[in-house]
Chain A
Amino acid sequence: MIHMENLRKDFTVRVKAGRLRREKRTVPAVDGVSLTIEPGEMVGYIGPNGAGKSTTLKMLTGVLAPTSGEVSVFGLTPVPQRTRLALRIGVVFGQRSQLWWDLPLHESFRLLRHIYRVPAGEHEARLRRCRDLLDLDAFLDIPVRQLSLGQRMRGELTAALLHGPAVLFLDEPTIGLDVVSKQAVRAFLAELGASGDVTLVLTTHDLADIERLCHRLVVIDHGRVVHDGTIEALHARYGSRRSLVVDLDRPLAPGFTLPGATLIGAEADGHRVTFALDSASAGEAVAGLVAAASVRDLSVVEPDIEDVVARLYASA
């Protein structure tokens, strides 16, 4: 459904070279990205600032023309077929509004119905669903400029979905939102994705978005794809494991080993130890420990995806 083959976008920037002379330099923003996204997938696109996430999204939506390579969405080439493509995709730019600033929110929806030429019945049904799921009713009559960021983002999501797009592109949909609004947006997107009618492609800096929403994670850095797969695959690849933190009545006997796990830390004179789980399951490790020592308390700690990604950026 979405296909990119060796996609590339170069920007020319002028840099100072000497007192008056300025030199042209070509900077690749997207440097040979090849990806295929199937219908119904939920794909999270992450990378540090300037990695090329937004640029890729803009090439997929027909805003920017690629320098080279191929890109197609529903078999359409975005730049020459921009208007035809626009009828079938929804786009939310977290930092740009497509609502009418001075008009009540419901007016924006009405205008969009005409712009996308949506039959009144379909429009009503989709709007009704968004109103229910996103609690829009409380602020439908308020001019957009007076909405809070969280309310506006819920409006933006609705605006992007009223024409029933089969793909929704979201560029940092949760940026700047408070915790409650983030949850609301994520819950809505999760519901949308679960229905299977809409393919979601989102960029974000907030890894919680990815953990909550996306089965597939694409990490991009310096315009190149450095990881494409599940979050679990990312952990496996970078050796991040779950760990078991155990509080003991007495320190473990010297030379104690736990099959399938590695002792990676001891605190409080050996009264608290941490094991990384290599091949053992949490249950096996706990059973082994209880048999050998007197356990007072224990907890299983999930690997921190932020750490993994930070390491990934650092190594790239």
Chain B
Amino acid sequence: MGELRAYAALLGGKARSLAAYRTSFAIELLSNLGSTVLDVVTVFVLYRATAMVGGFTLAESLLMTALTAAGFVLADLTVGNIDDLKRYVRAGTLDTVLIRPLRVLPQLICMDLPLRKLLRLAFGVFVYVAALVANHVHWTPARLALAVVAPIAAAVFFGAIFVLTASLAFWWVESGEVGAAFTYGGRDFTSYPITVYSDWFRGVFAYALGFGLVSYQPALALLGRTDPLGLPAWSGYAAPLVCVPAVAVAALIWRIGIRRYRSTGS
């Protein structure tokens, strides 16, 4: 309980620090909204050229985009700033985090929570709800549960990817854009029906790395469509479980990384 209070205090500190720069925060809040809006607009533009993409209509495709957007933005809001780890490792400032009686990862998350991404989250959730309505989902209790769990599982999955790629900084400080290929690249991949990708690419990203289970499979289950790629109907309901191994791997790599941390001279 006391520990939660401590994290809450860190969050409060972050919020009050932002209040010191009110105008720039407002500008960031709005400019941040832009990128998520653009992701959604891209889908509309695509369907101006064709009625079906990979065998899916605009509304169906939009559900996958929205599921990804909501999940990704939630992950980006909560753990996305872990990306700054490489800065901390490089400057050795992780030292000050390590001397506090709190765990490192939650501490970094609370210290740096990018509240400027809040509007994006609201927009992502709005598009997701709109997409569910537009698709006239035939609601059952299982689908309702899936509709709630799927974006959260997507957030957990992307969060794990964020932590995993950020951990690379413990080995290579200049890990820079390698991580982005999997975080932002993964988001772009899951924004479209995976039927549009070529075989080997889909095999690696969708199934081996699990990105296909983040939005494509759950969206099929919500829509009540059979998978043109042949996975059974229940797989859509089981798909959110993909976040379990993702979190396990991320936690393991993170732990090994922290032990490897070597600080810097002072």
Find chain B residues with CB under 8 A from A107 CB: 13, 16
Binary per-residue interface labels of chain A (68-107) against chain B in the complex, 1 for a CB within 8 Å, 0 otherwise: 0000000000010011101101010111111011110001
Find chain B residues with CB under 8 A from A79 CB: 259
Q: Determine whether the beta carbon of B20 is less than 8 Å from that of A96.
A: no
Is the CB of B6 closer than 8 A to any CB of chain A? yes
Find chain A residues with CB under 8 A from B17 CB: 100-103
Q: Determine whether the beta carbon of A96 is less than 8 Å from that of B96.
A: yes
Is the CB of A238 closer than 8 A to any CB of chain B? no
A98: nearest residue on chain B (CB-CB)? B96
Find chain A residues with CB under 8 A from B84 CB: none
Find chain A residues with CB under 8 A from B259 CB: 65, 79
Find chain A residues with CB under 8 A from B98 CB: 61-63, 82
| A93-B266, A97-B96, A111-B10 as given contacts; A87 in contact with B20, CB under 8 Å | no
How many of B's residues come within 8 Å of A, CB to CB?
A: 30
Count class of interface residues, chain A = 35 or more
Find chain B residues with CB under 8 A from A98 CB: 96, 99-100
Which residues 155-211 of A have a CB within 8 angstroms of B? 171-172
Binary per-residue interface labels of chain B (94-114) against chain A in the complex, 1 for a CB within 8 Å, 0 otherwise: 111011111100000000000
Q: Determine whether the beta carbon of B266 is less than 8 Å from that of A115.
A: no
Q: Determine whether the beta carbon of B20 is less than 8 Å from that of A143.
A: yes
Find chain B residues with CB under 8 A from A117 CB: 2-3, 5-6
Is the CB of A237 closer than 8 A to any CB of chain B? no
Is the CB of A50 closer than 8 A to any CB of chain B? yes
Q: Determine whether the beta carbon of A96 is less than 8 Å from that of B101.
A: no
| A98-B96, A103-B20 as given contacts; A114 in contact with B5, CB under 8 Å | yes
Find chain A residues with CB under 8 A from B20 CB: 102-103, 143
Q: Determine whether the beta carbon of A115 is less than 8 Å from that of B99.
A: no
Is the CB of B261 closer than 8 A to any CB of chain A? yes
Find chain A residues with CB under 8 A from B95 CB: 58, 63, 93, 96
Could you tell me the distance between the alpha carbons of A117 and B102 in the complex, rounded to whole angstroms? 11
Could you tell me the distance between the alpha carbons of A114 and B100 in the complex, rounded to whole angstroms? 11
| A63-B95, A83-B103, A107-B16 as given contacts; A114 in contact with B262, CB under 8 Å | no
Q: Determine whether the beta carbon of B96 is less than 8 Å from that of A54.
A: no
Is the CB of B8 closer than 8 A to any CB of chain A? yes
A49: nearest residue on chain B (CB-CB)? B265
Find chain A residues with CB under 8 A from B102 CB: 83, 86, 115
Find chain A residues with CB under 8 A from B266 CB: 54, 93-96, 171-172
A92: nearest residue on chain B (CB-CB)? B99
Residue picked from A50, A107, A117, A172, most chain B C-beta under 10 Å? A117
CB distance from B134 to the nearest CB of A (A): 43
Could you tell me the distance between the alpha carbons of A116 and B17 in the complex, rounded to whole angstroms? 20
A88: nearest residue on chain B (CB-CB)? B101
Could you tell me the distance between the alpha carbons of A117 and B15 in the complex, rounded to whole angstroms? 20
Find chain B residues with CB under 8 A from A116 CB: 6, 100-101
CB distance from B257 to the nearest CB of A (A): 12
Q: Determine whether the beta carbon of A86 is less than 8 Å from that of B100.
A: yes
- Select which of A58, A91, A111, A143 is within 8 A of B12 by beta carbon: A111
| A58-B95, A107-B16, A115-B10 as given contacts; A11 in contact with B100, CB under 8 Å | no
Is the CB of A64 closer than 8 A to any CB of chain B? yes
CB distance from B52 to the nearest CB of A (A): 51
Find chain B residues with CB under 8 A from A102 CB: 16-17, 20-21
Could you tell me the distance between the alpha carbons of A315 and B121 in the complex, rounded to whole angstroms? 64
Chain B: residues with CB nearer than 8 A to chain A?
2-3, 5-6, 8-10, 12-13, 16-17, 20-21, 92-96, 98-103, 259, 261-263, 265-266
Chain A: residues with CB nearer than 8 A to chain B?
11, 49-50, 54-55, 58, 61-65, 79, 82-84, 86-87, 89, 91, 93-98, 100-103, 107, 110-111, 114-117, 143, 171-172
A-B contact pairs, 23 of them (CB 8 A): A11-B262, A50-B265, A54-B265, A58-B95, A58-B263, A62-B98, A63-B261, A64-B263, A82-B98, A83-B102, A84-B101, A86-B99, A91-B99, A96-B96, A97-B96, A102-B16, A103-B13, A111-B13, A114-B5, A115-B100, A117-B2, A117-B3, A117-B6
